[in-house]
Amino acid sequence: MWQSILKFIQKWFHRFGSPRWFYQTTGKWLPYLAVISVGLLVLGSIWGLGFAPQDARQGNSYRIIFIHVPISVLAMIGYYVMAAAGAVALIWKIKIANMVMVSAAPLGAALTFLALLTGSIWGKPTWGTYWVWDARITSMLILFFLYLGVIALNQAFTSRDTAYKACAILSLVGTVNIPIIYKSVDWWYTLHQPATIKLTGASSIHPDMLKPLIVMILGFYCFYALVLMLNTRTEILAREWRSSWVRGLSQ
């Protein structure tokens, strides 16, 4: 019984592992996903920007939360998506997992950058400065570097296969280290914590603000999946252009 389940999983993995299958299947999903994510994002934006109540302390400037928070969350999750894909690729030697991994890296880096940017923009009205060395912010910056490392490594190799393996190893090493890095930065911050700045927890948020925020988070999740698929499809075409099925596409 267990064996048949294992076999099923394996078979599914290998079918899913075929770039051609991935390309054709995601091709069918794309329109739906696009409609859903755009719908959620538009709904969340209108709701959040137009109808959610003003914040007592921050006035209207808090509304950037509807972009900042979903992006920050996704930026972190993105690393684990990348690392998991890398692990799958290393262990089961599945081609498509490599392609997902290297497609997730620039996407994650872009999201991290946006999180830093929106955070900075928000910081000016809230803290009076664009940048402070807070634990969460510093961790985010280090995460940005980790992403850049993977991207730079990926670009530096001429052989695609080697690049894939190298990036997989690096992202795994990074994953092992992320908790350590985060803990050490947290600990460092509590040592030095300047009294002037206070980041309150998300618990203080008003339920009327929470609902549009959840819609935005869902919207961004779908959007992330959409862009990741598009990126991976581009990578597939770049990698498989010699194969007959890709050539068939252009005819």
Partner 1 sequence: MATTPLLELQNLAFERDDWPLFESLSIALCAGDVMQISGPNGCGKTTLLHILTTLHSPSYGSVLWRGEAINGSAIYLAELAFIGHQPGVKLALTARENMRWCLGLFAPRKNITIDTALDSAGLNTCKDVPCSTLSAGQLRRVALAALYLRDATLWLLDEPLTALDSDAIADLESLFETHRRAGGIIVFSSHQALSIDGVRNLALAEFTAKVH
Partner 2 sequence: MHPTNNSHTGILQRDLLVAIRQGSDFLNPLLFFVMTTTLVPLAVSPSPSQLAVIAPGMIWITALLATLLALDGIFKDDLADGSLLQIILSPKSLWSLVLAKVIAHWLKTGLPITLMAPLLGMMLSLPGEGYIPLVTGLAVGTACFSLIGAVGAALTVALQRGGVLLSLVVMPLYFPVLIFGASSVQRAVQGLEYLPVLAMLGAFFTFTLLTGPFAAAAALRVGING
Ligand X SMILES: Nc1ncnc2c1ncn2[C@@H]1O[C@H](COP(=O)(O)OP(=O)(O)OP(=O)(O)O)[C@@H](O)[C@H]1O
Question: Any residues with CB less than 8 A from the CB of 180 and at least 6 apart, and which?
Answer: none
Q: Which does 145 bind (CB under 5 to 8 A by kind): partner 2, ligand HEM, partner 1, none?
A: partner 2
H-only helix segments in 93-134: 95-127
34, 40, 43 from 177: Cα distances, Å: 35, 35, 38
Among 191, 201, 242, 251, binds partner 1 (CB under 8 A): 242
Question: Any residues with CB less than 8 A from the CB of 101 and at least 6 apart, and which?
Answer: 82, 83, 85, 86, 89, 164, 167, 168, 171
Closest CA to 223 of 89, 17, 5, 39: 39
**Residue 104: Cβ within 10 Å count:** 27
> Does residue 242 bind ligand X (CB under 6 A)?
no
Among 214, 243, 247, 249, binds partner 1 (CB under 8 A): 243
Q: Which is nearer to partner 2, 129 or 204 (CB)?
A: 129
Nearest approach, Cβ of 165 to ligand HEM (angstroms)?
A: 29
Q: Which residues from 5-64 bind partner 2, rule CB under 8 A?
A: none
Residues at the contact surface with partner 1, assessed by CB under 8 A = 158-161, 239-240, 242-243
Residues at the contact surface with partner 2, assessed by CB under 8 A = 129-134, 138, 141-142, 145-146, 148-149, 152-153, 155-159, 161-162, 165-166, 169-170, 173-174, 176-177, 180-181, 183-185, 187-189, 191-192, 194
